[in-house]
Amino acid sequence: MWRIGRLARLAGVSERTLRHYDRIGLLSPAAVDGVTGYRWYGTAELVRLDRIRGLQHLGLSLRLIAETIDAPDSHLAQALGETVATLHRDIAALSAVAARAEEYLTTPAPILPQQTTVPARRLRVRHLTVAHPAELADHCAADAAVLLTWLRGRPSGEFTAALTTARGGRWLALPARTAVRVVVPPGTGVVDAGRYLFDWLHHRGLTVCGPTLEEHLVDDDGDRATVLEVPVQAGPTPPSTALPLRAIPS
């Protein structure tokens, strides 16, 4: 039999790893000296250790290895199938991240949109008709105002908008939804950021499926920030730049 150091050298692992395997019940020594505390291992433990290391190289976690190493082969096959599926999902996600990073390196963007899930909210709003996006700045002078527009892309004429109000108006309920969200950095105009954001959505095959929120925030020091939030779904953008009127609460 071998002491722990010899087994570690034979298997190409550290003694710390072998102690950890013993601690979690994955690989126990064949015997432990009651006086010295030395761990002793034999060929059976070397074979088991080699299988553990092999299963690790197949992507199994130590938890799954502990659950399957002594189980029937069907259990191992199921665990490997689930691991492969997870690995493919991780690869796809990492590939998407790499593609976004490469795109940014090629064409640095003024904003960095992020797709997320936003909770439901309820707003009291009044409606207005706007001839050009530049006019919206005058309507958003109030602190902590929220502006809503029902657009699928860059407007080509008059469009309907809504602005939060403290009194009057109507209540508008927005459900929880998938949205692309961005905080407009200082020095970037909101109109320019909005144009870039709609182009970004079109490039990724995302369709606007509800009102875009432009929220003007003010902190306790009086500093301001603007958040753009566009509800989206996968699919081609229809030719019209405005959502149908039935989608706009009166």
Which parts of the chain fold into alpha helices (H)?
4-11, 15-23, 43-57, 62-68, 73-106, 136-139, 190-203
Q: Is residue 31 part of a domain?
A: yes
User: Is residue 163 domain-shared with residue 237, that is, in the same domain?
Assistant: yes
User: Is residue 61 domain-shared with residue 128, that is, in the same domain?
Assistant: no
Q: What is the pLDDT of residue 246?
A: 39
User: Is residue 234 domain-shared with residue 136, that is, in the same domain?
Assistant: yes
Domain count, the chain: 2
Classify the phi-psi angles of 31: left when phi > 0, otherwise alpha if psi is within -120 to 50, otherwise beta: beta
What SS3 state is found at 119? coil
Q: What is the pLDDT of residue 248?
A: 46
User: Is residue 240 domain-shared with residue 163, that is, in the same domain?
Assistant: yes
- 215 beta partners: 146, 227
> Domain residues for 214?
114-247
User: Is residue 144 domain-shared with residue 235, that is, in the same domain?
Assistant: yes
pLDDT by residue for the chain (250 residues), tens only, comes to 999 999 999 999 999 999 999 999 999 999 999 999 999 999 999 999 999 999 999 999 999 999 999 999 999 999 999 999 999 999 999 999 999 899 888 888 888 899 999 999 999 999 888 887 777 766 665 555 899 988 776 677 888 889 898 888 899 999 999 999 999 987 888 888 888 898 889 888 899 999 999 998 888 888 888 999 999 998 655 555 555 433 444 4
Q: Is residue 190 part of a domain?
A: yes
User: Is residue 58 domain-shared with residue 120, that is, in the same domain?
Assistant: no
Q: What is the pLDDT of residue 250?
A: 44
Q: What is the pLDDT of residue 158?
A: 84
What SS3 state is found at 132? coil
CATH code of the domain in which 225 resides: 3.20.80.10
Q: Could you tell me which of 34, 38, 36, 35 has the C-alpha nearest to residue 18?
A: 38
CB 129 within 8 A of CB 157: no
- Give the DSSP letter of residue 165: -
Q: pTM, whole model, 2 decimals?
A: 0.62
User: Is residue 73 domain-shared with residue 160, that is, in the same domain?
Assistant: no
User: Is residue 54 domain-shared with residue 121, that is, in the same domain?
Assistant: no
Q: What is the pLDDT of residue 235?
A: 67
Q: What is the pLDDT of residue 242?
A: 54
Q: Is residue 99 part of a domain?
A: no
